[in-house]
């Protein structure tokens, strides 16, 4: 299956859609501009176009014509509902799905996919959280007011989870991703591993327990935290090579190299490359950083990273509220697979190839949401907030399009859609951080995150 290149993100109704709707009413096949038949879900509510009654037309012939139209439409409707059968959980192919990260969004994604009948395993770091999920079917830390479906399990053992997995959903915050993504080595920890006499990274955690109130011990605790991340990072050999990796995290990764910013569509392939690249490139080259990057760039186009973004609060997904997102990938097959996995009666997925546009928009809206929150916190009013959001929206569009994004992506769900949600929706954590800052509160983001589970990705 190929996605048409001219217009892929079929997320908004355009003038030609109204035209095709009209054509449909006129008994013609509804063909959208991208060349595929568009399922007309509103067939139920659209009345048939009745033939105009002329002076000499017999009532019986009019009735006959109308009846023919009804039969014709009923056939189209059956055809459409067959095509959309994957919306119903019982009809779709069952997959084994692994969700990495047991935070709010990881939990919501796990529940959502499991409701469609797929087997879901969450990889979490904390053993007690893992036990709680398996015994009580509730994540005690995030969205604990919701029950998880029985087919959601949790494990701290990545090998067990990733064995025979069909799709990996990566729901770890971006700044932790390189370590947590399957297979990236932290230079800091590589150095550390040379200094300390442990072969298994898991062994480090036994010797460093996180504590508070002492800067020295604090640094050890963050050290310990990093080691745990590498323990997850070490799972790269366990990820089946050809499965799609779904990236749901929205932010730009601050590279190890000062001032660099990376997208998840770069970070994940670099991590996966550590395994796949070995098969493609001479192992000796891998040691050379420049060549490694070059090879990673070449491989990037072939890797099945699918970025899922758009206005989607975890809590509302958990609550089965209607949600529309976009799945962006350079691989149309991977995007299609992920779309089928996620699409449900209340969850709509559009597809696009504009990975860059989707990722940049998703990352930058976090900053705008904080600014909108500050505006709210300062009590500047809705006029000021709307002006700020309009300006921010334009600046995001300018920057993203200058980087190569398509303008229509910025106007779509992952751009404008997510900006509206996070700037005006009270569930947004980025906005909440802004409101608190605007009210004069001063806090360390890390502290806030620990104390109130308020983590903001725009800071």
Ligand X SMILES: NC(=O)c1ccc[n+]([C@@H]2O[C@H](COP(=O)([O-])OP(=O)(O)OC[C@H]3O[C@@H](n4cnc5c(N)ncnc54)[C@H](O)[C@@H]3O)[C@@H](O)[C@H]2O)c1
Judged by the rule CB under 6 A, the positions of this chain that interact with ligand X are 101-106, 125, 142, 171-174, 176, 179-180, 229, 232, 248-251, 312-314, 455, 457
Binding to ligand G3P, residues 292-311 (CB under 6 A) = 311
> Residue with structure tokens 């420049």?
290
Return the one option of ligand G3P, ligand X, none that residue 375 interacts with (CB less than 5 to 8 A, by type): none
Write the secondary structure of 385-408 as one string of H (helix), E (strand) and C (coil): HHHHHHHHHHHHHHHHHHHCCCHH
Q: Are 307 and 247 in contact (CB under 8 A)?
A: yes
Sign of CA dihedral 138, 141, 145, 146: negative
The nearer residue to ligand G3P, 300 or 431, going by C-beta atoms, is 431
Return the one option of ligand X, ligand G3P, none that residue 137 interacts with (CB less than 5 to 8 A, by type): none
Q: Are 108 and 308 in contact (CB under 8 A)?
A: no
Pair type for strands 261-262 and 347-352: unpaired
> Residue with structure tokens 């398509």?
406
Assess 436 for contact with ligand G3P (CB under 6 A): no
Q: Are 148 and 314 in contact (CB under 8 A)?
A: no
**Contact pick of 132, 142, 313, 347 for ligand G3P (by CB under 6 A):** 313
**Contact pick of 116, 178, 236, 250 for ligand G3P (by CB under 6 A):** 250
Neighbours of 91 (CB within 10 A): 12
Least distance from ligand G3P to the Cβ atom of residue 307, Å: 13
| Segment contacting ligand G3P by CB under 6 A, of 159-167, 267-275, 342-350, 415-423 | 415-423
Query: Active site residue: 116, 272, 337, 365, which one?
Result: 365
Assess 418 for contact with ligand G3P (CB under 6 A): yes
**Contact pick of 312, 350, 393, 409 for ligand G3P (by CB under 6 A):** 312
Residue 365 annotated in active site: yes
> Hey, what's the torsion of the CAs at 38, 41, 46, 50, to 10 degrees?
50
Burial of 257 (0-12, 13-18, 19+ CB in 10 A): exposed
Assess 457 for contact with ligand G3P (CB under 6 A): yes
Least distance from ligand X to the Cβ atom of residue 251, Å: 6
Quote the CA–CA distance of 61 and 40 in Å, as a whole number: 28
Return the one option of ligand G3P, ligand X, none that residue 422 interacts with (CB less than 5 to 8 A, by type): ligand G3P
Least distance from ligand X to the Cβ atom of residue 264, Å: 9
The nearer residue to ligand G3P, 112 or 300, going by C-beta atoms, is 112
Least distance from ligand X to the Cβ atom of residue 301, Å: 24
Return the one option of ligand G3P, ligand X, none that residue 173 interacts with (CB less than 5 to 8 A, by type): ligand X
Question: Rounded to the nearest 5°, which phi and psi values hold at 155?
Answer: -150, 155
The nearer residue to ligand X, 161 or 180, going by C-beta atoms, is 180
What tokens were used for 282?
Answer: 């001479």
Using alpha carbons, select from 274, 186, 165, 183 the residue that is nearest to residue 236: 183
Kindly state the DSSP code that residue 122 receives in the 8-state scheme: E
**DSSP secondary structure string for all residues of 399-433:** HHHHHT--HHHHHSIIIIIHHHHHHH-TT-HHHHH
Quote the CA–CA distance of 355 and 359 in Å, as a whole number: 6
**Contact pick of 120, 171, 369, 374 for ligand G3P (by CB under 6 A):** 369
Neighbours of 95 (CB within 10 A): 18
Q: Are 395 and 386 in contact (CB under 8 A)?
A: no
**Contact pick of 236, 405, 428, 436 for ligand G3P (by CB under 6 A):** 428
Geometric angle at alpha carbon 337, from 335 and 342, rounded to 5° = 90
Quote the CA–CA distance of 208 and 34 in Å, as a whole number: 57
Least distance from ligand G3P to the Cβ atom of residue 154, Å: 22
Q: Nearest residue by C-beta to ligand X? A: 103
Q: Note the maximum CA span of the chain.
A: 99
SS3 state of residue 252: coil
The nearer residue to ligand G3P, 143 or 303, going by C-beta atoms, is 143
Assess 430 for contact with ligand G3P (CB under 6 A): yes
Quote the CA–CA distance of 117 and 206 in Å, as a whole number: 38
Return the one option of ligand X, ligand G3P, none that residue 430 interacts with (CB less than 5 to 8 A, by type): ligand G3P
The nearer residue to ligand G3P, 186 or 432, going by C-beta atoms, is 432
Residues touching ligand G3P: how many (CB under 6 A)? Answer: 13
The nearer residue to ligand X, 159 or 294, going by C-beta atoms, is 159
The nearer residue to ligand G3P, 130 or 314, going by C-beta atoms, is 314
Assess 347 for contact with ligand G3P (CB under 6 A): no
| Active-site residue set | 365
Give contact residues for ligand G3P (rule: CB under 6 A): 250, 311-313, 369, 418, 421-422, 428-431, 457
């Amino acid at each position: 299956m190929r996605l048409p290149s001219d217009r892929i993100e079929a997320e908004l109704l355009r003038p030609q859609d109204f035209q095709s709707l009209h054509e449909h009413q006129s008994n013609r096949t509804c063909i959208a501009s991208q060349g595929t038949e568009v399922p007309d879900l509103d067939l139920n509510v659209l009345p048939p176009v009745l033939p105009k009654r002329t002076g000499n037309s017999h009532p019986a012939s009019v009735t006959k014509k109308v009846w023919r139209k009804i039969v014709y439409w009923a056939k189209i409707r059956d055809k459409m509902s067959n095509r959309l059968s994957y919306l119903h959980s019982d009809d779709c192919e069952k997959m084994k799905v692994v969700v990495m990260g047991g935070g709010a969004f990881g939990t919501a994604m796990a529940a959502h996919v499991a409701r469609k009948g797929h087997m879901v395993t969450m990889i979490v770091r904390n053993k007690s959280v893992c036990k709680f999920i398996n015994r009580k079917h509730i994540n005690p830390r995030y969205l604990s007011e919701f029950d998880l479906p029985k087919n959601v399990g949790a494990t701290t053992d990545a090998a067990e989870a990733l064995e025979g997995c069909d799709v990996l959903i990566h729901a770890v915050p971006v700044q932790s991703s390189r370590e947590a993504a399957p297979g990236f080595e932290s230079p800091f920890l590589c150095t550390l591993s040379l200094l300390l006499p442990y072969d298994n990274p898991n062994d480090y955690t036994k010797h460093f327990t996180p504590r508070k109130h002492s800067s020295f011990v604090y640094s050890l605790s963050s050290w310990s935290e990093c080691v745990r991340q590498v323990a997850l990072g070490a799972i790269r050999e366990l990820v089946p090579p050809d499965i799609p990796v779904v990236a749901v995290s929205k932010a730009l990764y601050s590279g190890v190299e000062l001032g660099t910013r990376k997208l998840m569509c770069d970070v994940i392939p670099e991590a996966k490359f550590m395994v796949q690249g070995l098969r493609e490139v001479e192992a000796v080259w891998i040691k050379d950083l420049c060549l490694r990057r070059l090879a990673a760039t070449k491989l990037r186009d072939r890797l099945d990273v699918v970025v899922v973004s758009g206005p989607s609060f975890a809590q509302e997904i958990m609550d089965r509220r209607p949600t529309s997102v976009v799945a962006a990938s350079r691989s149309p097959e991977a995007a299609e697979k992920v779309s089928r996995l996620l699409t449900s009666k209340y969850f709509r997925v559009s597809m696009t190839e504009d990975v860059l546009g989707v990722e940049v928009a998703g990352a930058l809206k976090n900053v705008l949401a904080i600014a909108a929150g500050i505006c709210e916190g300062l009590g500047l009013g809705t006029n000021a907030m709307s002006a700020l959001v309009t300006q921010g929206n334009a600046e995001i569009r300018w920057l993203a399009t200058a980087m190569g994004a398509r303008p229509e992506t910025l106007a779509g769900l992952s751009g404008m859609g997510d900006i509206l949600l996070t700037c005006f929706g009270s569930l947004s954590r980025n906005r909440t951080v802004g409101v608190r800052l605007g009210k004069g509160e001063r806090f360390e983001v890390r502290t806030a995150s620990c104390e109130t589970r308020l983590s903001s990705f725009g800071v």
